[in-house]
Amino acid sequence: MTRAAAFLLAVSVLSCKRSEDQAAKQRIFSPEEPVGALAEAKEPLDAGRLADDPRLAERVVRMGQAEVAARLGAHKGQTRVQFAWFRGPGAPDGGSDVALAEETTLLQVANGDFSVRQENDRNQGFEMVWAKGEVFVRGLFGPFRKRRTDRTDPERVRELAMGALPTFERLAHGLKLQKAGEATVEGRKVVRYQVTGSAARPPAAERKDLPKLEYPVQPDGGRGPDPDTSRRMEVWQKEEPTRVAGTLVVDAQTAAPLAADLQGHFRVPGEGGPAAELDLHSVLTVSGVGKDPGVQPPQFESEPSVPHAVKDPLRFLGKAPAAPGAASTEEPAADETDEEAPEQTAEQPARQR
């Protein structure tokens, strides 16, 4: 009886250890959730107080896609952005302008899988599918290819592709909201807001808990960003909203943004030159909440084989390099003389006859 009990105990210990190992492997190789996303999604937010609490409004409008997915579950999100940059429209030559229209579609599954498709009016774009712990990417008109998960950040791609609403809010220095009532959209209670202008939010204070940013040494001996980085930083540091208007719709239960239609005009003063002006129109629509969009791994083509770089081309071709200072043992290649060229040229018509 004692031996039987000992045998059963040993079997139970081994089975427990095996189950623990399997659970550990599952944790290690399962797709990693963005840090803090689920914790933020559990925070209760009052969707009816956005007009009275600027910090709450900023929190809702800048809500990340991981948190939106945790709050809403399965859904379909679409953004449409149209922008036009103008510089010196009053100049004699009419100045310069750059315009683009872009549309993004997100299909989000409740289990965390999703697909993102983005295209613009210049026939450029991409499509990415994150399904069952694997990522597939393709150009707008090319085949899908499987990417390595350790070299791809699908959550960041999703965040950037669906960043129309947070980007507009940042350019506007916050949104000044006025509550416009409640309604029901697709069976869900929503709270509507009217955007009446910029909230004139002051610039964020420099964080003291982070190390000081060290810029590289420039040709003049000083330290600072390169010209391209400086121009990009100038947009966020000096831009001024001159007109901001639109509408915002927030889910009453989860406070996740469900729709937005925002229009704005922004100005960046120039140093010794004309100012740059931006016209921006951003639209967000979220539909099919709770409905599975059916994201599945697509058919894909294998990566084309690429030969490894040859470290020593001469030895690879069977030609050992000569010793330093020694004469080369290779025979010079026979060069065709100028006299041979006319003879070959004259022979070709005879053969064709």
pLDDT in tens, 70-81: 999 999 999 999
What pLDDT, in 10s, does the model give residues 269-288? Answer: 877 778 889 999 999 999 99
- Cβ neighbourhood burial of 169 (10 Å; 0-12, 13-18, 19+): buried
pTM passes above 0.85: no
Residue 353: pLDDT band with limits 50, 70, 90:
very low
Does residue 326 register a pLDDT over 70?
A: no
Least confident of 187-196, 247-256, 271-280: 271-280
Q: Select from 34, 227, 233 the least CA-distant residue to 114.
A: 34
Specify the pLDDT at position 292.
95
Residue 89: pLDDT band with limits 50, 70, 90:
low
Specify the pLDDT at position 204.
76
Residue 208: pLDDT band with limits 50, 70, 90:
confident
What pLDDT, in 10s, does the model give residues 5-64? Answer: 666 566 565 555 566 666 665 655 555 555 555 788 899 999 999 999 999 999 999 999
300 DSSP β-pair partners:
144
Residue 111: pLDDT band with limits 50, 70, 90:
very high
SS3 assignment for the chain: CHHHHHHHHHHHHHHHHHHHHHHHHHHHHCCCCCCCHHHHHCCCCCCCCCCCCHHHHHHHHCCCHHHHHHHHCCEEEEEEEEEEEEECCCCCCCCEEEEEEEEEEEEECCCCCEEEEEEECCCCEEEEEEECCEEEEEECCCCEEEECHHHCCHHHHHHHHCCHHHHHHHHCCCEEEEEEEEEEECCEEEEEEEEEEECCCCCCCCCCCCCCCCCCECCCCCECCCHHHHHHHHHHHHCEEEEEEEEEEEECCCCCEEEEEEEEEEEECCCCCCCEEEEEEEEEEEECCCCCCCCCCCCEECCCCCCCCCCCHHHHCCCCCCCCCCCCCCCCCCCCCCCHHHHHHHHHHHHHC
Specify the pLDDT at position 21.
66
Does residue 114 register a pLDDT over 70?
A: yes
Regarding predicted confidence, which is higher, 62 or 211?
A: 62
Specify the pLDDT at position 314.
75
